[in-house]
Structure 1
Amino acid sequence: MAEDLVRRLAALDACAVSDALDRLGVTGVALGLAPLTGNHRIAGRVTTVRLVEAGEAPPSPRHLGTAAVEASGPGDVIVVEHGGRTGVSGWGGILSLAAAQRGVEGVVVDGACRDVDESRELGLPVFARAAVPLTARGRVVEQDWNIPVTICGVAVAPGDHVIADGSGVVFLPGERAEEIVGVAERIAARERTMAELVKAGAPVSEVMGAGYETMLQENR
């Protein structure tokens, strides 16, 4: 069942899911993140990591992100709370290599990451605020993983889902993911019909008439 939901989510795009959230009155769009590794769409279950400034958490015997990578695989997206920091990396190339080998769908970082060229060559999609060469070592550490985090002001927890593409990153609360995907599928189907009408020569002013403006208020 979980795998089927990921498959259905992956067939959508971030805009349709964002529209579904609007219709349902749910918050989930993470503003300020963009794809750094090319034109990719990712969708999957969330595995979380929280980073803090060095000294704010006890020293860890493992490097940040490694536990999340080893616990993740196909259908999973690693999501890193990095506090919006753009002056230090919260993800790097060796982590990307390990994640790619495990079949992880992609990585979302609320902050900067580095080794972007390596991630691109691996084909591992990375969404973040910026790229920076500065290492995390001695600057930030992992406080914990597989816990509730905050990404661009959005509360995200293990068991949630995420979709990300060229338009941005959208999170779906786990307890409502099935409902949100269902609404997004209906919105996407309606917009495909509208696109076909435009291709057939219908005036766009008619296709995107008054009904389009109120479309997200229907069946609320």
Structure 2
Amino acid sequence: MESVQLQRTYLDLTTPHIADACMRLDIPVRCAPPSIRPLWADTHVVGRVAPVRHHGSVDVFLEAIEGSAPGDVLMVDNGGREDEACVGDLVALEAQRADLSGIAIWGLHRDTSELRTIRLPLFSQGALPTGPQRLDAACSQTLVSARCGLHTSTADDFLVGDDDGLIFIPLDRAADVAELATAIRDTERYQAARMRQGTTFRAQARFDEFLSTRKEQEDFTFRRHLRAIGGAIEE
């Protein structure tokens, strides 16, 4: 699935919907560290991963952008360093001119005011005025994979980011995840609408039935009960 199609498919799906769908499909849930946040609220980004590992020079970003496709998201691996900012306004402008969907950084950014004006979705661990003061040697994985906390992503992955964080999904499971995430979203919206109209979730979930069954079956879980009745609030 190409990045532009991903954007259409995942436009109205949140990272919690997607995480729940991955769990049900036995797809490993790969989330970025919670310290990585969007630069502004109500951000939503979707795209194939364009991986790059930072070694101290901006040329690796330009090379990654050169090899990217419209709609991709630049995934910058700076090892979670907090002693330097590795992405600023010029890199963001270059990515925007290449029609990338956004930038995610396992590390820090700078030029915050300019980045807010550019308005390209950006996720990072925070801001720091100081740029890199080093120049390390590139490696064979520089443009092949990017780490982000405990997880590693490649161009065979895509990511979704919003106010709850970032999640990575295999491209070849994009359709499966979207289908189930959509069903979960619709169920939860229906449940929330009924609650606003006065029907408690306990009533919708037939909680009394669950308690009764659990008395007879000690290993009977609420998750199992919800699945049996079509609930989706818990995974």
TM-score by length of 2: 0.79
Q: Equivalent residue for 2:108?
A: 112
- Of 62-71 and 102-111, deviating more is 62-71
Given the alignment of the two structures, is residue 164 of structure 1 paired with residue 125 of structure 2, yes or no? Answer: no
Cα distance change of structure 1 residues 217 and 196 upon mapping to structure 2, 3 Å threshold: closer
> Which of the pair has the greater relative contact order for Cα pairs under 8 Å at 6+ separation?
1
Q: Percent identity?
A: 26
Q: Equivalent residue for 1:35?
A: 38
Matching of residues 1-220 of structure 1 within 5 Å: 1-2=1-2, 3-25=4-26, 26-32=28-34, 33-52=36-55, 63-138=59-134, 143=139, 145-207=142-204, 213-214=222-223, 218=227
Q: Could you give the per-residue CA deviations for residues 46-87 of structure 1, whole angstroms, max 9, x where no partner exists?
A: 1000124x6xxxxx7x62311122333532111011111111
Cα distance change of structure 1 residues 107 and 213 upon mapping to structure 2, 3 Å threshold: farther
Aligned residue pairs, count = 213
Q: Is the CA contact (8 Å cut-off) linking 2:65 and 2:74 kept in structure 1?
A: yes
Note the C-alpha offset of 1:127: 0.4
3-state DSSP of counterpart to 1:120: helix
3-state DSSP of counterpart to 1:109: strand
The one-letter code of the counterpart of 2:32 is: A
Cα distance change of structure 1 residues 199 and 98 upon mapping to structure 2, 3 Å threshold: same
C-alpha separation in 1, matches of 2:82 and 2:222: 37
Note the C-alpha offset of 1:5: 3.2
C-alpha separation in 2, matches of 1:124 and 1:208: 41
Q: Could you give the per-residue CA deviations for residues 117-141 of structure 1, whole angstroms, max 9, x where no partner exists?
A: 2111011111011111111243567
Q: Is the CA contact (8 Å cut-off) linking 2:159 and 2:167 kept in structure 1?
A: yes
The one-letter code of the counterpart of 1:110 is: W
C-alpha separation in 2, matches of 1:206 and 1:193: 14
C-alpha RMSD over aligned residues: 2.8
Question: 1 or 2, which has the higher strand percentage?
Answer: 1
C-alpha separation in 2, matches of 1:130 and 1:185: 32
3-state DSSP of counterpart to 2:194: helix
TM-score by length of 1: 0.84
Note the C-alpha offset of 1:105: 0.9
Cα distance change of structure 1 residues 202 and 174 upon mapping to structure 2, 3 Å threshold: same
Q: Equivalent residue for 2:231?
A: none
3-state DSSP of counterpart to 2:167: strand
Note the C-alpha offset of 1:164: 0.3
3-state DSSP of counterpart to 2:120: coil
Larger Rg: 1 or 2? 2
Q: Is the CA contact (8 Å cut-off) linking 1:37 and 1:117 kept in structure 2?
A: no
C-alpha separation in 2, matches of 1:88 and 1:139: 12
3-state DSSP of counterpart to 2:78: strand
Q: Is the CA contact (8 Å cut-off) linking 1:88 and 1:139 kept in structure 2?
A: no
Note the C-alpha offset of 1:147: 0.7
Gapped runs of 5+ residues in structure 2? 211-220, 229-234
Q: Is the CA contact (8 Å cut-off) linking 1:48 and 1:149 kept in structure 2?
A: yes
